[in-house]
Structure 1
Amino acid sequence: MSDAVILYPSSGRGHVVPMVELGKLISKHHPSISITIIILTLPNETTSTNSYIATVSAAAPSINFIHIVASSFEIAQLNNRNLHQAILTLSSSSNVKALVIDYFCNFAVQVSSCLNIPTYYFCAASASALCHLLYCPTIHKNIAESLKDLDILVDAPGTPSIPSKDLPLVMLDRSHRVYQYFINTANQMAKSSGIIVNTFESLGPRAVKAILEGKCTPDESFLPPIYCIGPIVSTSESKEEHECLIWLDSQPSRSVVFLCFGSMGVFSATQLKEMAIGLEKVGLGSCGWCAIHQQIIKPEAFYMQKNEAWKRKTGFVVKLWAPQVAILNHGSVGLFVTHCGWNSILESVCAGVPMLAWPLYAEQKMNRTFLVEGMKMGLKVSESEDGIVSAAELEQRLTEMMKSEKGKEIERRVMAIRACAVEAVNNGGSSRVALAHFVESL
């Protein structure tokens, strides 16, 4: 029987895509290992995720997909019976060497332990975010109150200090069931067979060093191997040329500001108007802008504001999905305004494009701190107390990035890190070596 690895991502494009790309990476460099990916499908799953999987299935028939329909956040626990049966079925024809799970699928450990299958975790976030996750039990032990009742800086080894209000909401309330879930996950990860991280060593060296030295885990006797195998980004976008790429062809080199806020980013009409005004003011100078937004509330406020820019051909708006990787790698794009999802940050790094950090939810405010203060590859966009980024704030940050010496310094650093990313995934690079070590551990 052939050796097999089962990948088990959480639901949602931001988790599915990097896990599938991991499967493609293993299959490419170690074709003797068969890859099966179990997909949890929610009723409201975006069509973009479905079309992405269909594209991968057509291009990589050696990767097997099993779909399980789920219905809630606790999908992994609720579907353990289905997972157990799927693994038993695969075991009848393959030698299952490992189960690689997303950290949102921690309940799956109950199944892998029962079947005596080594469990690895896949972290689709930065090494700094992993530091914080592994350090959660220590923070829980050292701080008796819920962080929602405090206004403090929270420290984790190897990372910049994070304002408590910038942590994910579920980590602020000790009584929340999801809070305890993350504490349990962190403890379980520390006892696992290994942790695979979608990053490369030189992107977060302090964080990687802190994890390897056991500073993030409460019991240093539990220190799983860490495999930094990134950056892995999607290479399965549609080959059909999008109209925005044709528009970009007509723009000067590095002149376009690209705005995109992920698959779950939504804005109020008030925020869209402020955004449009800020872009208009900057657009009157020497830059164009390309606003790509996946889901928009009351978009008319934005489109009415952009009419004049459209006539001057300084702006372009895409209402739905756009090929982000292709856009970032287009020669006319010089700046990325991002919600700070880790996949988007990696795609920008790989393209050598500096960033303005405009986080919206989940761990994105943490990522802003890592990006701006730790990696020094972007500038912070600040919101008011009511959560609105004003037109003036957006205009100032765009101008600072495009015209100041600090902006030029950030651009030089991003290009240097891009070269490190290329080196990491080449033959003999740190990420390629880490991938080989993971396969050897099986």
Structure 2
Amino acid sequence: MEKEMRNYRAHCLVLTYPTQGHINPMLQFSKRLEHKGIKVTLATTQFIVKTIQEVAGSIKVETISDGYDEGGIADAESVEAYLTRFQEVGSQTLAKLVEKLGHQGCPVDCIVYDSFLPWALDIAKKLGVVGALFCTQSCAVNNIYYYVMQGLLELPLAGPEVLLPGLPPLAPSDMPSFIYVLGSYPAVFDLVVNQFSNVEKADWVLCNTFYELEEKVVDWIAKLWPLRTIGPTLPSIYLDKRLEDDKDYGLHMFKPNTSACMKWLNDLPNESAVYVSFGSLAELENEQIEELAWGLKASKKNFLWVVRASEEAKLPKNFVEETSEKGLVVSWCPQLEVLSHKAVGCFVTHCGWNSTLEALSLGVPMVAMPQWTDQSTNAKCVMDVWGMGVRAEQDEKGVVRRAEVEHCIREIMDGDRGEEIKRNASKWRELAKEAVDEGGSSDRNIEEFVSKLAHF
């Protein structure tokens, strides 16, 4: 009787891993569900909710505990200690949250959980609700981690290339950093590999990609898991424009300097500026920042460079003043607005999956400078699979030198190869839009998910 009286098709509790790069795609997916008549409650840790600048829109936010409510992971003695405590306390508080929502007259029908939190599936099964795993990384990377977890990819890597179903031949350096540099971050290695430890129990596996982008590996994984592609999870205004006023993710952990960025770009010719950003987590060495700085200057191109406040001291002395006629350095910016601006012709990026999908969906060629985790694999695809960028080569010390930075920027902005890259970028922009349009591959998968929930 209660389900008949409520004015929504089902209620999803969407549980995110507590970093902006994981929250944003899951928040955007939540908006898609809400648009299709699903009630959504977004859950993340108490500490993250305290640090968020803003959560816009109608999605209700609830909290669970990771055991470190005042300081988050920074208060833990190690990453391993944090993850262990998060599982213990998070499991308890997640179950209590589901119970609380039920008492409020909004019983949960499904838990959509970040793949980094596989213990949430055990809670879903214990409570008798649908459990849907949400992957915030590419299917290519998920496939690699699954093969490692199953013991089907022997480590340490041996030989000049790695051959896996659905993927192009990969050099060891194209693999995620935790696999290529085995032992570099043991706790995080366990996290990314074990995210699929109980995947066979999941009712759904949802991935933030689109079928046309990773067709071969999607077809392969779909033989193993109940996989559905539901991305790219960008605000609707940049793709299908079906969600009214959906102009940004609606969540900010850093305050963007929007007016300065857009005013600066508005005064520039079309495709004349280089946008540079390494996301919310990457920390570049002092030497790398210095080489990048002088490479940007040598390119003689206009550049907008995001250097987080915590990284500003690494900039060369007087660099900002010496390049003020050509460059603008800010601590944070509205990335989607920047990438969609007519003045931007190139994106120097770490190739985090969110940034990669954003650039691809907006048709912006990339200079790939991967730092760690899944970024090397994404960079391989950007250059050799999707053909919409170049990868900056590191020297024997692992540093991309200024001459290489300059060369890569000029290759895209001025070189013959740049024209082909721009054509490919335009093609992928259209395919990304088609995927989320009504009846597109991702839209069909979301509708199937919603329909099944409504009949659960």
Taking structure 1 as the reference length, the TM-score comes to: 0.86
Aligned residue pairs, count: 413
1:291 matched to 2:305? The reply is yes
Aligned twin of 1:419 = 430
Aligned twin of 1:198 = 208
Aligned twin of 1:386 = 397
Give the Cα–Cα distance (whole angstroms) in 2 for the partners of residues 301 and 66 of structure 1. Answer: 38
One of 295, 300, 321 as aligned partner of 1:307: 321
Query: Contact 2:177–2:376 (CA<8 Å) still a contact in 1?
Result: no
Query: Contact 1:159–1:370 (CA<8 Å) still a contact in 2?
Result: no
Code of the residue aligned with 1:236 in structure 2: it is Y
Q: Taking structure 1 as reference, are residues 321 and 301 closer, same or farther at Cα in structure 2, changes over 3 Å only?
A: closer
One of 155, 159, 162 as aligned partner of 2:170: 162
Q: Tell me how far 1:175 sits from its aligned partner.
A: 11
Q: Tell me how far 1:107 sits from its aligned partner.
A: 1.5
1:10 matched to 2:23? The reply is no
Q: Tell me how far 1:367 sits from its aligned partner.
A: 1.3
1:267-299 superposed Cα distances (whole Å, 9 cap, x missing partner) = 23322221121111111xxx3111112255353
Structure 1 residues without counterparts, runs of 5 or longer: 215-222
Aligned twin of 2:376 = 365
SS in 2 for 1:361: coil
Q: Tell me how far 1:152 sits from its aligned partner.
A: 4.4
Q: Taking structure 1 as reference, are residues 341 and 109 closer, same or farther at Cα in structure 2, changes over 3 Å only?
A: same
Q: Tell me how far 1:103 sits from its aligned partner.
A: 1.0
Give the Cα–Cα distance (whole angstroms) in 1 for the partners of residues 210 and 349 of structure 2. Answer: 21
One of 49, 52, 68 as aligned partner of 1:50: 52
Query: Contact 1:276–1:306 (CA<8 Å) still a contact in 2?
Result: no
Code of the residue aligned with 1:329 in structure 2: it is S
One of 112, 129, 146 as aligned partner of 2:124: 112
Percentage of identical aligned residues: 27
Give the Cα–Cα distance (whole angstroms) in 1 for the partners of residues 107 and 163 of structure 2. Answer: 43
1:397 matched to 2:398? The reply is no
Q: Tell me how far 1:77 sits from its aligned partner.
A: 3.8
One of 41, 44, 52 as aligned partner of 1:39: 44
Q: Tell me how far 1:347 sits from its aligned partner.
A: 1.1
Q: Tell me how far 1:261 sits from its aligned partner.
A: 0.4
1:85-139 superposed Cα distances (whole Å, 9 cap, x missing partner) = 111222332342211111110122221121122211101112222222333334x
Give the Cα–Cα distance (whole angstroms) in 2 for the partners of residues 247 and 388 of structure 1. Answer: 30
SS in 1 for 2:333: coil
Code of the residue aligned with 2:323 in structure 1: it is A
One of 262, 271, 280 as aligned partner of 2:288: 271
Q: Tell me how far 1:41 sits from its aligned partner.
A: 4.3
Query: Contact 1:288–1:314 (CA<8 Å) still a contact in 2?
Result: yes
Aligned twin of 2:83 = 73
My pick for the range that moved more, 293-302 or 80-89, is 293-302
Query: Contact 1:197–1:230 (CA<8 Å) still a contact in 2?
Result: yes
SS in 2 for 1:230: coil
1:344 matched to 2:355? The reply is yes
Aligned twin of 1:128 = 140
Query: Contact 2:15–2:112 (CA<8 Å) still a contact in 1?
Result: yes
SS in 1 for 2:142: helix
1:23 matched to 2:40? The reply is no
RMSD across aligned positions (CA): 2.5
One of 270, 273, 276 as aligned partner of 1:259: 276
Q: Tell me how far 1:306 sits from its aligned partner.
A: 3.8
Aligned twin of 1:323 = 334
Give the Cα–Cα distance (whole angstroms) in 2 for the partners of residues 280 and 119 of structure 1. Answer: 50
My pick for the range that moved more, 126-135 or 110-119, is 126-135
Give the Cα–Cα distance (whole angstroms) in 2 for the partners of residues 322 and 395 of structure 1. Answer: 23
1:16-46 superposed Cα distances (whole Å, 9 cap, x missing partner) = 1111111111112x22x2111111245xx59
Query: Contact 1:265–1:294 (CA<8 Å) still a contact in 2?
Result: no
Query: Contact 1:273–1:305 (CA<8 Å) still a contact in 2?
Result: no
Q: Taking structure 1 as reference, are residues 159 and 41 closer, same or farther at Cα in structure 2, changes over 3 Å only?
A: farther
SS in 2 for 1:418: helix
Code of the residue aligned with 2:23 in structure 1: it is V
1:192-243 superposed Cα distances (whole Å, 9 cap, x missing partner) = 111111111111112212222x2xxxxxxxx332221111125135898420
Code of the residue aligned with 2:229 in structure 1: it is C
Code of the residue aligned with 2:231 in structure 1: it is G
Q: Taking structure 1 as reference, are residues 369 and 194 closer, same or farther at Cα in structure 2, changes over 3 Å only?
A: same
1:55-84 superposed Cα distances (whole Å, 9 cap, x missing partner) = 32xx21x53433535432332343111111
Q: Taking structure 1 as reference, are residues 173 and 329 closer, same or farther at Cα in structure 2, changes over 3 Å only?
A: same
Give the Cα–Cα distance (whole angstroms) in 1 for the partners of residues 314 and 147 of structure 2. Answer: 44
Aligned twin of 1:246 = 263
Code of the residue aligned with 1:160 in structure 2: it is P
Give the Cα–Cα distance (whole angstroms) in 1 for the partners of residues 436 and 277 of structure 2. Answer: 26
1:124-162 superposed Cα distances (whole Å, 9 cap, x missing partner) = 112222222333334x2452x434xx4643332112233
Give the Cα–Cα distance (whole angstroms) in 1 for the partners of residues 46 and 394 of structure 2. Answer: 34
Q: Taking structure 1 as reference, are residues 104 and 77 closer, same or farther at Cα in structure 2, changes over 3 Å only?
A: farther
Aligned twin of 1:227 = 228
Structure 2 residues without counterparts, runs of 5 or longer: 69-81, 236-247
Give the Cα–Cα distance (whole angstroms) in 1 for the partners of residues 350 and 305 of structure 2. Answer: 13
Aligned twin of 1:335 = 346
Q: Tell me how far 1:400 sits from its aligned partner.
A: 1.2
Q: Tell me how far 1:346 sits from its aligned partner.
A: 1.2
